[in-house]
């Protein structure tokens, strides 16, 4: 299954949002197989910025949130998964990485969107991975009834990607 959305900014930049069930090897097959057996569909979210290096506007971010909320409302057995990227187009801040900045920003905006629209059973969990060379930020978006599956994905990410102690 693949769904695509195209969003245009006021400056004419093009953003391509894609929801796909293609396996990307970010989530281990053992976990995906278990979820599929239970009727849960893991959907990867991808966002591409085509056109320029303009900073993504608040309006575009809201449209992305609307697409995600709409997708989750229409797909009650879906869990969304994504990883914050490394592209360094955001203002530099030596205290946090680009990934952490994006992770915090999206989490705050998503929480606010859910609250403003009185959507009470959809959650966004950050999975912070302390990797060998750097820290990664994955997210899972899920319905409350699938909380145990979101935890399973998080535990699998930690098992597969955290640096050995």
Each residue's pLDDT expressed in tens, for the chain with a length of 165 residues = 899 999 999 988 999 999 999 776 788 889 999 999 999 999 999 998 887 777 888 899 999 999 999 999 999 999 999 987 766 655 556 688 888 888 999 999 999 999 999 999 999 999 999 988 888 899 999 999 999 999 999 999 999 988 887
DSSP-derived pairing of the beta strands 122-130 and 41-50 = unpaired
pLDDT at 67: 96
pLDDT at 50: 84
3-class state of residue 24 by DSSP: coil
Q: How far apart are CA 112 and CA 19, in angstroms?
A: 22
Range of the domain at 108: 2-161
Q: In what order do the strands lie in the sheet with 2-8?
A: 2-8, 14-20, 41-50, 78-83, 135-143, 122-130
pLDDT at 148: 98
Say how many C-beta atoms besides its own lie within 10 A of residue 50's C-beta. Answer: 10
- Report how many domains make up the chain: 1
């Amino acid at each position: 299954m693949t769904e695509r959305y195209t969003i245009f900014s006021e400056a004419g930049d093009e953003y391509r949002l894609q929801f796909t069930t293609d396996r990307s090897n970010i989530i281990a097959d053992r976990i995906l197989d278990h979820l599929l057996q239970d009727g849960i569909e893991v959907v990867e979210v991808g966002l591409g910025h085509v056109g320029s290096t303009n900073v993504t506007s608040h309006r575009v971010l809201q449209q992305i949130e609307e697409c995600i909320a709409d997708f989750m409302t229409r797909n009650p057995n879906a869990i969304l998964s994504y990883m914050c990227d490394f592209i360094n187009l955001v203002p530099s801040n030596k205290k946090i990485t680009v990934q952490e900045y994006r992770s915090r920003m999206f989490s705050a905006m998503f929480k606010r969107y859910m609250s403003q629209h009185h959507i009470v059973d959809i959650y966004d969990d950050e999975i912070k991975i302390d990797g060998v060379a750097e820290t990664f930020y994955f997210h899972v978006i899920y319905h409350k009834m699938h909380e145990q599956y979101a935890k399973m994905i998080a535990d699998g990410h930690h098992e597969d990607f955290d640096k050995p102690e």
